[in-house]
Structure 1
């Protein structure tokens, strides 16, 4: 069984279902361009803000670890890495149940609740006094955030057709990059607040960003969009037009049964997609968490370290924007993923050969290449995989499974750079190199499976020669 339903026409460029005469009739009743602008303004900004603060809060510990936090909480040996690891246990386990719950209670309620809970726990983390307290707050942070990332992508996939999808997925994904860059700038300013009102500077990071999360959560309750069928800000014709162009006609009361899960489990694409995403998550989180640590090992002070962590994320944002534009324009996904993998490999090769030889410029270029390649590929992978799924059943279970398994890469990432491997971190770079090569092979295999399924559909439906498919 594949995720692409049989009996649907295939877009000659993106391989997506095209519009039947009935769908065109529905779309002709509305101004499609105006409707798209309306959706963009209502759906994307709030989701961007939600994940911006969520990711900022998730990785701000990387900035705190360059301050006095390790000394004050007695984070010796691998304790720092374990504190990072504990976040992913509930985060991974509860992603699929979270998507199912979000469908039942509506996205605006679930996503806003998740981010408010996240902010409250973050406030608690600002006042921890021990390693045990840090572990507890990191666990509940993972539990609170488990629904935000897969839930948001799940929601976005119901608002846009494939030809529109990459730009929107990248817009949402870029919130991660903004968070990485802004986190460094904010941390450099907060570093100067050491001792203010009797609090250490690292505590101010968690305190201020926790308050920001709660405020965003309150706004999200009122302004976060739901699924198209539930959108009170659309007319009935506009709702019908969105459903027609995205071909998401399933009823609201969808229940995933054991037989559905069994059918999903037979789809090899789901496993390849999970491995592909896993292999890009590892370098993403490794450098989100440890870029400041790697830069600090080059001899920079706290503030300079935070400032130097910004440009790699800025470069990644630029590449993501270019990738989104050309990916949608050319109707191609895998070449841009492979380009990102190539940049990661080049960057790792630079770090392995130049690190520790007082060659800051080549090393810094290597950090930029790795960050650019990982973040640009990640955005395309998510879009490619989710838009090969259809309906609430496949997307709720499939997105939760792929993102859940993929995010297990965060567990590997937190142990890539350990104190006993400092300051050269050669073991970490070799781990990332091996995982990136596996991801490259998996990307090719996933593309071949998609191409085979699309060709079978064309043969089954007796398509004409004009309806060709660019599967990759």
Structure 2
């Protein structure tokens, strides 16, 4: 059975010592009742009213993994490729053909992030309103078309215009998929599932380099040559995957034709069982909850950590080919492209490893603290040595620490709000801050700073040090605030409040505890 038969005894205690109210005997029908609107899955102390059969959960989780994760992972792979392939195009003559000089390349990169940042939170709210099953394929089709259009630009103005539109369509992908997966998975499970698509970022660096190398060996693609073929072919692949996704992506558990009714009820009930006072998993857009998601202390602190991390992640995506060129200046263009691949493969391994451990321990913040010193060590190696092998080795160390933050930070903000609306805006805020870091990254490696890039490497050493300090402070604050919450009188604080007022409290609910 999906839900175990048991009594909620008065001996069961809430976090502040008050006894939970005695409940009824739960059987299989409890799954359906809990899944319905108007039914809560926790008592007023935040204690789950239902217990689930671990074997049934494991079977359901595996089924969701197989149906949901591969599609969003492939879409995100080409989302990142369509964004970062400009770095590969640069090596293949993009700057020369468009007549870019001085800081023009940095300007083209920056235009993308302006729209990317502006549309981040609105895109995630649109994703909730339209439904991820339609929104994610539609926005993927949009940025695939933009990639194709990039193949036909002939000056900085056209390139900037297309990159601006690319940012509009890509803005909803990272937070949209994170929000989408939060509809299906428990708090502890989410980080690892996020890693299974976010790992596509470092793999995009690896696969993108291999794909760009293969494309450049083709004499021509229609009337297109060299770097123009990269944008056109990769954009066409994105469009094909997007059209397929319109058919394969299921919007939410309740509409999943590949789940039985019992499995649908279990999928909804187990997510709801972690949300204090929630009567529905998918609530309507509501201003108080929107603001709770944006202005949660954990959201803001984690988002700033993600900002600092993204200076490194996006900097690697855009400038790894350039950095490799300074390390191996005499190598061919194709050889330089291929040298960007191995560090990304190592980064991909850690992108999955840390979130997997996060799932097993139901902890996220500690892995921020573990990852930051790896990034620090890599940039110290860059600054301390001009040896080609040492610097190339540094890219492996940096990638090992940097890429897991995408999954961990989004899982952290999702775990520390209650409602679906707050979750969508918390994730949107986190990714918006991260993309401000991406905008900064476009100016971190400047032409006059090459070939050693002391400013760029020094900046990234500073940001990784900041991540370490902020992560430790955030962990200590969450522990201290949870101790303060233990002393609050839940009955007194909730007395006289309506059900809506209680739900609008979100993380301010006295029974809520921060989950580090």
Q: TM-score, normalised by structure 2?
A: 0.82
Q: Does 1:23 align with 2:53?
A: no
Provide the C-alpha distance between the structure 2 equivalents of 1:446 and 1:100, rounded to a whole number of angstroms: 27
Alignment RMSD, CA only? 2.5
- Map of 2:405 onto structure 1: 377
- Map of 1:276 onto structure 2: 305
Provide the C-alpha distance between the structure 1 equivalents of 2:240 and 2:423, rounded to a whole number of angstroms: 29
- Map of 2:483 onto structure 1: 455
Is residue 14–residue 47 contact of structure 2 (8 Å, CA) maintained in 1?
A: no
Q: Which has the higher contact order (CA 8 A, sep 6+)?
A: 1
Q: Secondary structure at the match of 1:408?
A: helix
Q: Does 1:115 align with 2:151?
A: no
Structure 1 residues 215 and 383 mapped into 2: Cα distance closer, same or farther (>3 Å)? same
Provide the C-alpha distance between the structure 1 equivalents of 2:370 and 2:515, rounded to a whole number of angstroms: 17
CA deviations over 1:70-95 (Å, ceiling 9, x no partner): 11101111110111111111111111
Provide the C-alpha distance between the structure 2 equivalents of 1:54 and 1:178, rounded to a whole number of angstroms: 12
Is residue 316–residue 372 contact of structure 1 (8 Å, CA) maintained in 2?
A: yes
Structure 1 residues 49 and 361 mapped into 2: Cα distance closer, same or farther (>3 Å)? same
State the shift of 1:334 in Å: 2.4
CA deviations over 1:341-384 (Å, ceiling 9, x no partner): 101110000101113xxx22111111111111111233322222
Q: Secondary structure at the match of 2:215?
A: helix
Is residue 253–residue 264 contact of structure 2 (8 Å, CA) maintained in 1?
A: yes
Provide the C-alpha distance between the structure 1 equivalents of 2:58 and 2:298, rounded to a whole number of angstroms: 33
Please, which runs of 5 or more residues in structure 1 have no aligned partner? 1-6, 11-16, 463-468
Is residue 347–residue 399 contact of structure 2 (8 Å, CA) maintained in 1?
A: yes
Matches of residues 142-221 of structure 1 in structure 2 within 5 Å? 142-195=167-220, 197-221=222-246
Q: Secondary structure at the match of 2:100?
A: coil
* Matched residue count: 449
Q: Does 1:286 align with 2:286?
A: no
Which segment drifts farther, 105-114 or 248-257? 248-257
Larger Rg over CA atoms: 2
- Map of 2:324 onto structure 1: 295
State the shift of 1:166 in Å: 2.5
- Map of 1:415 onto structure 2: 443
Provide the C-alpha distance between the structure 2 equivalents of 1:142 and 1:452, rounded to a whole number of angstroms: 39
Provide the C-alpha distance between the structure 1 equivalents of 2:400 and 2:449, rounded to a whole number of angstroms: 24
Q: TM-score, normalised by structure 1?
A: 0.89
Please, which runs of 5 or more residues in structure 2 have no aligned partner? 1-12, 17-41, 491-512
Provide the C-alpha distance between the structure 1 equivalents of 2:308 and 2:14, rounded to a whole number of angstroms: 32
Provide the C-alpha distance between the structure 1 equivalents of 2:305 and 2:345, rounded to a whole number of angstroms: 24
Provide the C-alpha distance between the structure 2 equivalents of 1:375 and 1:204, rounded to a whole number of angstroms: 28
Provide the C-alpha distance between the structure 1 equivalents of 2:191 and 2:416, rounded to a whole number of angstroms: 13
Is residue 341–residue 377 contact of structure 1 (8 Å, CA) maintained in 2?
A: no
Q: Does 1:337 align with 2:368?
A: yes
- Map of 1:312 onto structure 2: 343
CA deviations over 1:186-211 (Å, ceiling 9, x no partner): 11112223555442210010011110
Matches of residues 100-139 of structure 1 in structure 2 within 5 Å? 100-139=125-164
Is residue 30–residue 238 contact of structure 1 (8 Å, CA) maintained in 2?
A: no
Q: Does 1:436 align with 2:461?
A: no
- Map of 1:75 onto structure 2: 100
Which segment drifts farther, 88-97 or 327-336? 327-336
Which segment drifts farther, 191-200 or 433-442? 191-200
Provide the C-alpha distance between the structure 2 equivalents of 1:105 and 1:8, rounded to a whole number of angstroms: 38
CA deviations over 1:312-340 (Å, ceiling 9, x no partner): 01111122232233222233322321221
